[in-house]
Amino acid sequence: MLTVFFDCRGVVHFEFLPPGLTVNKEYYVSVLKRLRENVRRKRPELWRNNSWFLHHDNAPAHTSHIVRDYLTKNNINTVPQAPYSPDMAPCDFFLFPRLKLPLRGKHFETIEAIKENSQKELKAIPKSSYKKCFEDWKTRWHMCVACDGDYFEGNKINIDE
């Protein structure tokens, strides 16, 4: 499993779940620690004034007490995820489809080959695509509000009304 954190300028942190582990609250806190370090190194201007935001979905590991406590203690600003709204998660509407499409139908001999090819495709995504993703995300937030939080993927909604 690949975990990726990105912003409008590209990937900030990514890692593969080690074999034999599952994503639980303790593991997720360890990922967040590595993410914080990468934000500090790769986005120092955001780190200095604590102007970066974390958006993750409502998975149990993300909403557990230990994770919320870690986020609070480290002053990590979060963007809420609307309940039952996979159409709001940038990974779901942007990143995962971009990674899956070029790998579809290919067979890899080893886990390492899967990781290498996934990394190659991740690095091939242009920065302009990440910027567009966040513009699309803003539009999706408006659509979510226009639909009172209901699922809207594929609906023809005029958010200017």
> Which residues are within 8 A (CB) of 122 and not within 5 positions of it... i.e. 6 or more apart?
2, 4, 11, 14, 99
The pLDDT value given to residue 153 = 66
Cα–Cα dist 100/82, whole Å: 25
6 DSSP 8-state letter:
E
Query: How confident is the model over 73-132, as pLDDT tens digits?
Result: 999 999 988 776 767 889 888 999 999 999 999 999 999 999 999 999 999 999 999 999
Query: How confident is the model over 1-46, as pLDDT tens digits?
Result: 999 999 999 999 999 999 999 999 999 999 999 999 999 999 999 9
Banded model confidence at residue 144, pLDDT cuts 50, 70, 90: confident
Determine the average pLDDT of the residues in 125-140: 94
